[in-house]
Structure 1
Amino acid sequence: MTTFALVGAGTGLGLATARRFGVAGHAVALIARNPERLEEMTAELARDEIQACGFPADVLDIESLTTALHAAETTLGPIEILQYSPVPRADFMKPVLDTSADDLDAPLSFSVKGPVTAVHAVLPGMRELGRGTLLFVNGSSAVRPNPNVAGTSIAFAAESAYASMLHDALTAENIHVAQLIVPGAIRPDSAHSSPDVLAQRLFDIHQQRDGFRHYAEPLPD
């Protein structure tokens, strides 16, 4: 059994994706800051007979994120799939003219240093397996800068560039890197962007391994 590791585990998309990969036979490593929420999610997955375990970590803390991913691999088995999809903080989303250089420290740590740390933690295990999938989930500002959320727009663009370079660099090693852009809000009643629909989409991307960038639905005009 290999492991699906979810960085940014939450009760919406995160739980749905964890369930989808768990039902497919993967152990599930849930990584987030809140230990109580991780316990609740683990218990919910256990009711579906999914082996899951929570590992508290903060993506802004490189050491804690690395430790969590290594602990997940030791506890559950080799990480075959990594999904990086933590939700940005509200204070990352100032208008561009109100955004100072210091305001970019946390968003860039969140969306660049966090992914780089996570990838470096799991890549040796994927190479040993001879396969792997790295999934990045972003909002529309990753591909269409929004001056009302400057910090996230800048940081997501940098994350997109990093993920795109990884896609090109790792293809020959049978490690697929993909990005899913979710243009609007994730809502249970959405035909294209509900948690369950997006979870299936991410599972399909993992299985089909066809291209780097995918869209949950077309970007609005």
Structure 2
Amino acid sequence: MTTFALVGAGPGLGLAAARRFGAAGHRVALLSRSADHLEPLVAELSRDGTEARAYPADVLAPDTLTAALGRAAEELGPVEILQYSPVPRADFMKPVLETTAADLDDPLAFSVKAPVTCVQAVLPGMRALGRGTLLFVNGGSAVRPAPRVAGTSIAFAAESAYARMLHDALAGENIHAAQLIIPGAIRPDAEHSSPDALAERLYALHTGRDEFRHYAEPLPG
């Protein structure tokens, strides 16, 4: 049995994705900064019959990510699917003319250095399996920069470039990298952008293994 590792676990999309991959027979590793935040999610998944464990880690502390993903592989089985979808902090979203070079340190660590760290941690296991999926979830500013949220626009664009390069570089190894763009808010009542609908879409990206970029909804405008 292999593992679905979720970086940025939460009660909305994260829980829905974990439930969907768990229903498909994968064990689930939940990564987030707070153990207290993770335990209710583990309990809910366990009630659904999914084997899940909590692995506290901070995306701004790369060593904790490497250690958490290593423990998950040892305890649950090799990571076959990695989903990177933590929610950016509000202070990443300053207007462009108010954004200094120092203001970009954390957004770039969050959206570039942390994904690179995670991929490097799971890639050997995927290669040993002979298969794997890397899922990146971003907002619309990843493809349409928004001057009111400069930090995430810059950092998401860099993450997109990295993920696209992975898609091209790993395709011959049966390791599929895909990006899901969610242009607007995730709402329980949304047809295509509810947590359950997005989780189903992410599972389809894992099984479909086609092009790199996908949209939950058309970009507005």
TM-score > 0.5, shorter chain as reference: yes
Separation of aligned partners in 1, 2:168 and 2:23: 30
Q: Over residues 189-208 of structure 1, what are the superposed CA-to-partner deviations in whole Å (9 max), with x where a residue is unaligned?
A: 11110000000000001001
Instruction: Please state whether the residue corresponding to 1:28 is helix, strand or coil.
Output: strand
Aligned-residue offset at 1:9 = 0.3
- 1:65 is matched with 65
CA RMSD of aligned residues (A): 0.3
Aligned-residue offset at 1:210 = 1.0
Give the letter aligned to residue 71 of structure 2: A
- 2:102 is matched with 102
Separation of aligned partners in 2, 1:166 and 1:134: 9
- 2:213 is matched with 213
Q: Over residues 85-127 of structure 1, what are the superposed CA-to-partner deviations in whole Å (9 max), with x where a residue is unaligned?
A: 0000000000000000000000000000000000000000000
Instruction: Please state whether the residue corresponding to 1:39 is helix, strand or coil.
Output: helix
Structure 1 length-normalised TM: 1.00
Instruction: Please state whether the residue corresponding to 1:190 is helix, strand or coil.
Output: coil
Separation of aligned partners in 2, 1:194 and 1:31: 21
In structure 1, runs of 5+ residues without a counterpart are none
In structure 2, runs of 5+ residues without a counterpart are none
- 1:153 is matched with 153
Q: Over residues 24-78 of structure 1, what are the superposed CA-to-partner deviations in whole Å (9 max), with x where a residue is unaligned?
A: 0000000001111211000000000100000000000000010000010011000
What is the aligned length?
Answer: 221
Separation of aligned partners in 1, 2:68 and 2:87: 18
Separation of aligned partners in 1, 2:199 and 2:152: 23
- 1:184 is matched with 184
Structure 2 length-normalised TM: 1.00
Separation of aligned partners in 1, 2:127 and 2:23: 24
- 1:5 is matched with 5
